[in-house]
Amino acid sequence: MCSGPAVAAFNFDGLRRIVWLNAIDAAPRSTAGDLCDKHAERFRPPLHWELHDLRNGTVDVTVIEPPPERPVPLDAKAAKQRRDRALLPEGEDSSPEADESTPLLARAFRAAG
């Protein structure tokens, strides 16, 4: 628990995925929780929820989205480890293009008749 004085309070509506953050003196009598200044500034609701920050007298709405995924290129050591785990011969790509000759897909094509 934080020992800082509460300056903000939050409430939420789970069905509409909205969280309201109010100044402690303007908050309703019943709240979901109280926050110190440091934690109120860092407060983030779950992904795809809206945060309605009412502390400054206006409504600041933020929709929490996941960060974009960035592919991470493999260095030589990581590529070798991946090949070793996959038991592939040196120089063979660990993720070949899939077509009807790929073993799993070949079985699927045979089963489909």
Is the per-residue pLDDT at 105 higher than 80? no
Is the per-residue pLDDT at 66 higher than 70? yes
**CA pair distance 85, 89, nearest whole angstrom:** 11
> How much is the pLDDT for 8?
93
Across 24-28, 36-40, 84-88, 98-102, least confident range: 98-102
Is the per-residue pLDDT at 64 higher than 60? yes
**CA pair distance 97, 52, nearest whole angstrom:** 46
Nearest CA to 55 among 5, 11, 20, 30?
20
Q: Side-chain half-sphere of 63: how many Cα atoms within 13 Å?
A: 3
Across residues 73-93, what is the average pLDDT? Answer: 69
Is the per-residue pLDDT at 88 higher than 70? no
Residue labelled with tokens 């929780």: 33
Report yes or no: 52 and 19 within 8 Å, Cβ to Cβ: yes
> Using H for helix, E for strand and C for coil, what is the string for 38-86?
HHHHHCCCCCCCEEEECCCCCCEEEECCCCCCCCCCCCHHHHHHHHHHH
Put simply, whether the predicted model's pTM sits higher than 0.85 gets the answer no
> How much is the pLDDT for 97?
59
| Tens digit of each residue's pLDDT (9 = 90 or more) over 8-58 | 999 999 999 999 999 988 777 888 999 999 999 999 998 889 999 999 888
